[in-house]
């Protein structure tokens, strides 16, 4: 009798988990385990030194570029991946280590844009690794062999996509590192820039899974809801207040008490917008996930899209507020 009840309980728990997985669009146990591992790795690098954390950001951006290279190859778009790796790494390093971070970012971006435009216009291929990975990705996403043919695109389109990739990964990624350079609070700033969008995403998942009834943008992302957006804002705001309380003294509270509120709204709204942009890009390409590196999260880009979108806004807010 007890064994039968235990079996029914397990079946009910499994049904509840399946409903949550279906509503959130991901395998939640895998997602939680992967997120916990990422948190440990990021915090370990962060508390060892800012340089090690900066290196980790560079590694993530390099992986994100490869994922984007494969995703674009699905629809026949080719970006100069080696050139972008070099330009992105140099831009990130210069933005972080230069005495004038914004000037370094601007100069490196302009120089990189010229190089990327030139190389992408040549349409030089260094092997078919991305194309083979794209073919495997299409098969994993359920496409038939007859659907694997990809269209040809004019040079101008290839150049425009390469420039978009540079701006999306290198420039937005650099603002993550620039935010570490303000007022010797690099740990707190890194936590806000990296973890608050993730916390906001968690709030969106929780509120969306339990209370989500009103679709935010059903055409782009059926899983997003208005309730999820409110949860994203509330979670980000709560996290920002905790970080603020652990970092700044009473004098800063007296004059900057409103900053966590603004941070929470910015991160919640912009992070959701970043997720919607990524969903729209995936829909246009015809893929389910940007990659498969992170179990329960898809690829690196699936994890960092909201972080990349939020980083310049949070960086600008910290700079303007003198924090």
pLDDT digits (tens, 9 = 90+) for 152-184: 777 888 889 999 999 999 999 999 999 998 877
The conformational region for residue 26 under phi > 0 = left, psi -120 to 50 = alpha, else beta, is beta
> What is the model's pLDDT at position 146?
45
> What is the model's pLDDT at position 150?
59
| Structure token pair of residue 117 | 């435009």
Instruction: Measure CA 119 to chain center.
Output: 27
> What is the model's pLDDT at position 37?
82
Query: Which of the residue ranges 22-31, 58-67, 69-78, 269-278 has the most confident prediction, judged by mean pLDDT?
Result: 58-67
pLDDT grade for 145, boundaries at 50, 70 and 90: very low
> What is the model's pLDDT at position 214?
67
CA separation for the pair 300, 298 (Å, rounded): 7
The H or E element that residue 222 is part of is strand 221-225
For the chain, the average pLDDT equals 79
Helix runs in 149-249, H state only: 155-165, 172-178, 186-190, 196-211, 226-247
> What is the model's pLDDT at position 226?
76
Sequence-distant (≥ 6) Cβ neighbours of residue 177 within 8 angstroms? 54, 57, 92, 95, 96
Domain boundaries, the chain: 30-320
pLDDT grade for 144, boundaries at 50, 70 and 90: very low
25: pLDDT strictly greater than 70: no
CA separation for the pair 2, 21 (Å, rounded): 28
Model pTM? 0.79
């Amino acid at each position: 009798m007890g064994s039968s009840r235990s079996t029914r309980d397990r079946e009910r728990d499994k049904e509840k988990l399946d409903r949550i997985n279906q509503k959130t669009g991901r395998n939640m146990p895998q997602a939680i385990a992967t997120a916990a591992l990422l948190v440990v790795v990021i915090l370990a690098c962060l508390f060892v030194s800012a340089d090690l954390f900066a290196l980790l950001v560079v590694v993530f951006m390099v992986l994100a570029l490869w994922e984007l290279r494969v995703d674009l190859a699905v629809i026949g778009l080719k970006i100069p991946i080696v050139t972008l790796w070099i330009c992105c790494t140099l831009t990130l390093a210069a933005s972080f280590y230069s005495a004038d971070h914004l000037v370094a970012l601007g100069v490196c971006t302009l120089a990189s844009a010229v190089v990327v435009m030139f190389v992408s216009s040549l349409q030089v291929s260094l092997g078919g690794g991305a194309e083979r990975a794209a073919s495997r990705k299409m098969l994993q996403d359920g496409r038939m062999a007859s659907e694997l043919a990809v269209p040809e695109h004019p040079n101008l389109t290839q150049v425009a996509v390469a420039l978009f990739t540079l701006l999306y990964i290198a420039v937005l990624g650099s603002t993550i590192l620039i935010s570490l350079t303000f007022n010797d609070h690099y740990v707190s700033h890194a936590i806000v820039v990296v973890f608050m969008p993730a916390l906001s995403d968690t709030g969106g998942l929780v509120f969306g899974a339990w209370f989500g009834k009103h679709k935010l943008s059903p055409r782009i992302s059926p899983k997003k809801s208005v309730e999820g957006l409110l949860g994203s804002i509330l979670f980000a705001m709560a996290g920002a207040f905790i970080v603020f309380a652990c970092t700044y003294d009473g004098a800063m509270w007296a004059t900057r008490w409103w900053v966590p509120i603004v941070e929470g709204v910015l991160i919640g709204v912009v992070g959701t917008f970043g997720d919607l942009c990524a969903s729209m890009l995936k829909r246009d390409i015809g893929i389910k996930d940007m990659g498969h590196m992170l179990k329960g999260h898809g690829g690196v880009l699936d994890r960092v899209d909201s972080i990349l979108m939020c980083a310049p806004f949070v960086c600008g807010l910290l700079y303007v507020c003198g924090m």
